[in-house]
C-alpha cells in the first residue's frame, strides 16, 4: 500500500483514546503524512505517543491538506461509533479535495446523503471499514482442519492490547522464518493488515462463521494469529469474544492484561484475577476444542515502570506462565510457548 | 391482533423442522386459517403436530387463498435463512392477492427487487421480522435496576424449547395474578408476543444492549421472562446466548433440555451433563450478577414416554432441582422455584 494518510484525532490523541490513530502510526508510519488534532498541534507523534515516528500534528484541515494526503482516516472510535457533528466540516473539506475517507465508525458514512453526494461530485471515495460482508456463514467447527497452528489473543478487558500482542507475535514468528499471518478482526487491524473482517458489526448468527471463514482462508499458513476482541467478562462485548473462541477454535491463547486496570472499561465489573480469567477462557472452549492459555502479555501503558515490572512478576508467579511486555521486550518468549503446543 | 394467517410450511411441517409454524399454531391458533404444505395436505394440524387446533392443510396457494387470509407467514427457518427459489411462485401469488408477507428469514424480502415491486403494485406489505432496529445501544448493566424479577430460559442446545418454556412460565404466572411479561428475542416469539427484538440479526456490539433495552422497557412488571437463544456450547450461536446473559442479567434461570438429544444440532459437540451446563451458565454470569438455575424444563418431543419420564427423573436426581415437561404438566413448579429467589 502506498497511501498518504491524514489522521483525524480531534483533540483525543492518546494510546487508548485514539487507538486506531496510534496503531496505524505505530505499524504503518510511512503511510501517515500528518495528524489533525487541535489539542496537540505543533508537536509530533513521537512526543505525544512515544512511538518512534515523529509525524507532524496540525490544528486545521487546511494545514493537513498541505502535506498532500490522498486519504483521511478517522482515527478515533467513540463508544457506539456515532459521527460527531463537529467532524462534518473536516469531512466536507477532505471530500472536496478528492481524498478517500476511511472510517471505522458504526455509522456508515457512505449512507450520509450530504457526504455521499459530495464524494460523487468530487470523485472521492468513502470506505466504511465496519460494513459487514454480504455472505452469512454459520460456524461449523471447520477451523479445526487448518494446517496452521491457531493462536488467539484474549483479554481481561476490552482495549488492553490484544491487537498489538497479535501483531508482535506474528512479527516475531516471521523474523524466525515461520509463515505466520495476522488475522484482523477489527477495523484498526484491517487498516494495518490490509484484510480481515470487522467482527463487532456482523449480525450475531454469523460472527463465529465469519471468524471461521477467515481462519480457514488463511489456514494454509504455519501459524495463524487471530486478533482478539472484548473480554468474556465485558457485558457489552462478551458476545464478540465468544464468537472468536468458537469460530477460531484456537490451539493456544495469549491472555492480555493492562497493568493497573482493576475494573472493566466503563462498567461496574471487577476484573477477576489472571488465573480465573485463564480458567474462564479454557473452560469456554473445552466442550469444542481443547486449548490452553500459554502466555501473558502485560500492557504497561500509563503505569509507573515499577508497577509494570511488579505486574509482570506477579503474573508469572500467579499463573506459572511467561509474562512479557511485547512492545518493550518482543514476543519471543510467548512464541516459544505457542510453538511448544502440539495438537492431539 | 386480528390477522388471518396462511402459513407456508412447504413439506417441512413438524415441531422442530417448522418451529415458527408450529409455535404460531400452538399459541395463536385463532389467527391461522390454513397451512400450505404439499406433504401433509388433506390432513390437519392436530393430526400432524399434536396441537389442540385442527387447522386445515392445503397443497396449493390457490387452495390456501380460498380461506381468505390477509397474511402469508413464512413458517420455516432454514439454516442461514436464505430464500429458496421454489418459494417465489407462492410469494408472487400472495403479493398479487394483496397479502402481507411476514418473514423471519435472514434474507430481507423487502430488498428483493421483484417482490418489492410486486408489493408496491398491489398495495401489499412485506414485513421482515429480523430487520434490526436502527439504534445502537451499548449494554451497561442497566437491567439490574428493574422492579421486575428477571428470568431467562437457557438451553443445553439451540432449538430445544426455550421459547415454549418462557411462554408457559409467563402464562402460569399470569394465571396466579402476577404481572408477568414474556420478552421475545426471536422472530417466532415476536409473532406471538407482538413485540420484542430478533437478537440474532443484530450486530455483535449491540446485541447485549438491545436485550438490556428490552428488559428495562418492560422492567416495571413483577416478572420479566426473557426468551433464551442458542446455547453456551453451540459454536455458531453461543455469542447470542452470552449477549442474553450479560444484557438481561437474570436473577434466575430455567435450563431447557430436549430428552434424548446427545449432540449439539448439526455440530460435532457432545452436550455436557446437566450439572455441568448449570455450572457453565451460573459461572458466565458470576462476575456480573449472581444468578442460579432454579429449575429444568424437559422437552419430551419425539422421545418414548418412558424415556421422557426417565429423563425428567434423572434430571431431578442429578441436579436437585424441579424438572418438568411444561407443555404436559404446566410450569407451576418452575414458577414456585423462581419466586423463591430474592435479590440480595
Q: Which of residues 46-65 of B touch A (CB under 8 A)?
A: none
- Distance between B108 CA and the closest CA of chain A, angstroms: 12
Q: Determine contact: A142 vs chain B, CB below 8 A.
A: no
Higher pLDDT, A35 or A107: A35
Architecture of domain A142-339: 3-Layer(aba) Sandwich (3.40)
- Angle at which helices B274-285 and B238-248 pack, to 10 degrees? 50
Q: Determine contact: A199 vs chain B, CB below 8 A.
A: yes
For residue A41, the Cα-to-chain-centroid distance in whole angstroms is: 26
Q: Determine contact: B21 vs chain A, CB below 8 A.
A: no
Contact yes or no for A200 and B201 at CB 8 A: no
**What SS3 state is found at A35?**
strand
Q: Determine contact: A283 vs chain B, CB below 8 A.
A: yes
Please give the Cα distance from B154 to B314 (Å, whole number): 19
- What class has domain B5-128? alpha beta
Q: Determine contact: A284 vs chain B, CB below 8 A.
A: yes
Strand A180-183, strand A126-128: pairing: unpaired
Tell which of A82, A229, A236, A275 to mutate to test the B interface (max B CBs under 10 Å).
A236
Q: Strands of B223-226's sheet, edge to edge?
A: B180-183, B223-226, B149-155, B252-258, B292-299, B323-324
* Positive/negative CA dihedral, A111, A116, A120, A122: negative
Q: Where are the domains positioned within chain B? A: 5-128, 142-339
Q: Determine contact: A237 vs chain B, CB below 8 A.
A: yes
Please give the Cα distance from A339 to A151 (Å, whole number): 10
Residue B344, pLDDT above cutoff 60: no
Q: Considering only A326-340, B10-24, B191-205, B294-308, which range has the smallest mean pLDDT? A: B10-24
Q: Note the pLDDT tens digit of each residue in B302-313.
A: 899 999 999 999
What CA–CA distances, in Å, run from A137 to A212, A241, B339?
9, 18, 41
**Chain B: residue nearest A199 by CA?**
B204
* Positive/negative CA dihedral, B52, B58, B62, B66: negative
Q: Determine contact: A267 vs chain B, CB below 8 A.
A: yes
Which pTM does this prediction carry?
0.94
User: Which candidate from B79, B200, B283 shows the least CB-CB separation from A204?
Assistant: B200
User: Which candidate from A79, A205, A288 shows the least CB-CB separation from B237?
Assistant: A205
Share of chain B above pLDDT 90, in %: 88
- Distance between A253 CA and the closest CA of chain B, angstroms: 18
Q: Determine contact: B236 vs chain A, CB below 8 A.
A: yes
Q: Determine contact: A203 vs chain B, CB below 8 A.
A: yes
Give the pLDDT score at B342. Answer: 75
**Chain A: residue nearest B279 by CA?**
A283
Q: Pick left, alpha or beta for residue A196 (phi over 0 → left; psi -120 to 50 → alpha; otherwise beta).
A: left
Give the pLDDT score at A13. Answer: 84
Give the pLDDT score at A107. Answer: 87
* SS3 readout for B53-103: CCCEEECCHHHHHCCCCCEEEECCCCHHHCCCHHHHHHHHHHHHCCCEEEE
Q: Note the pLDDT tens digit of each residue in B160-188.
A: 999 999 999 999 999 999 999 999 999 99
Residue B76, pLDDT above cutoff 90: no
Q: Determine contact: B305 vs chain A, CB below 8 A.
A: no
**HSE toward the beta carbon, residue A332, CA cutoff 13 A:** 5
Residue A54, pLDDT above cutoff 60: yes
Number of helices (H) and strands (E) in chain B: give both, helices first: 13, 12
Q: Of B106, B74, B100, whose CA–CA distance to B87 is shortest?
A: B74
- Distance between A208 CA and the closest CA of chain B, angstroms: 6
Higher pLDDT, A107 or A198: A198
Q: Which DSSP state fits A84?
A: -
Q: Which DSSP state fits B273?
A: P
Tell which of B234, B236, B286 to mutate to test the A interface (max A CBs under 10 Å).
B236
Residues of chain B positioned with their CB less than 8 A from the CB of A156:
none
Residues of chain A positioned with their CB less than 8 A from the CB of B79:
138
Give the pLDDT score at B10. Answer: 85
Q: Determine contact: B31 vs chain A, CB below 8 A.
A: no
Amino acid at each position: 500500500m502506498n497511501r498518504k494518510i491524514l489522521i483525524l484525532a480531534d483533540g483525543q490523541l492518546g494510546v487508548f483514546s485514539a487507538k486506531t490513530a496510534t496503531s496505524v502510526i505505530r505499524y504503518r508510519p510511512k503511510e501517515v503524512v500528518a495528524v489533525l488534532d487541535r489539542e496537540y498541534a505543533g508537536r509530533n507523534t513521537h512526543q505525544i505517543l512515544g512511538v518512534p515516528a515523529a509525524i507532524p500534528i496540525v490544528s486545521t484541515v487546511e494545514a493537513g491538506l498541505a502535506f498532500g494526503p490522498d486519504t483521511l482516516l478517522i482515527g478515533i472510535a467513540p463508544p457506539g461509533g456515532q459521527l460527531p457533528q463537529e467532524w462534518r466540516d473536516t469531512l466536507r473539506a477532505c471530500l472536496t479535495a478528492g481524498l478517500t475517507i476511511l472510517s471505522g465508525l458504526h455509522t456508515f458514512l457512505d449512507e450520509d446523503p450530504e457526504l455521499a453526494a459530495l464524494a460523487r461530485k468530487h470523485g472521492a471515495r468513502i470506505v466504511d471499514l465496519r460494513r459487514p460482508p454480504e455472505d452469512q456463514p454459520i460456524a461449523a467447527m471447520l477451523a479445526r482442519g487448518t494446517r496452521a497452528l491457531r493462536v488467539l489473543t484474549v483479554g481481561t478487558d476490552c482495549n488492553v492490547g490484544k491487537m498489538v500482542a497479535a501483531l508482535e507475535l506474528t512479527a516475531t514468528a516471521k523474523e524466525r522464518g515461520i509463515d505466520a499471518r495476522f488475522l484482523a478482526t477489527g477495523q484498526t487491524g484491517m487498516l494495518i493488515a490490509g484484510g480481515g473482517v470487522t467482527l463487532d458489526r456482523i449480525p450475531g448468527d454469523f460472527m463465529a462463521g465469519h471468524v471461521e471463514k477467515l481462519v480457514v482462508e488463511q489456514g494454509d499458513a504455519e501459524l495463524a494469529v487471530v486478533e482478539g476482541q472484548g473480554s468474556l467478562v465485558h457485558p457489552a462485548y462478551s458476545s464478540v469474544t465468544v464468537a472468536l473462541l468458537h469460530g477460531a477454535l484456537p490451539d493456544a491463547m495469549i491472555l492480555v492484561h493492562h497493568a493497573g486496570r482493576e475494573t472493566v472499561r466503563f462498567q461496574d465489573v471487577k476484573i477477576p484475577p489472571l488465573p480465573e480469567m485463564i480458567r474462564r477462557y479454557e473452560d469456554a472452549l473445552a466442550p469444542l476444542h481443547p486449548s490452553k492459555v500459554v502466555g501473558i502479555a502485560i500492557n504497561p501503558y500509563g503505569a509507573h515502570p515499577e508497577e509494570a515490572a511488579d505486574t509482570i512478576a506477579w503474573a508469572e508467579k500467579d499463573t506459572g506462565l511467561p509474562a512479557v511486555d511485547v512492545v518493550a521486550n518482543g514476543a519471543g518468549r510467548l512464541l516459544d510457548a505457542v510453538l511448544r503446543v502440539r495438537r492431539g
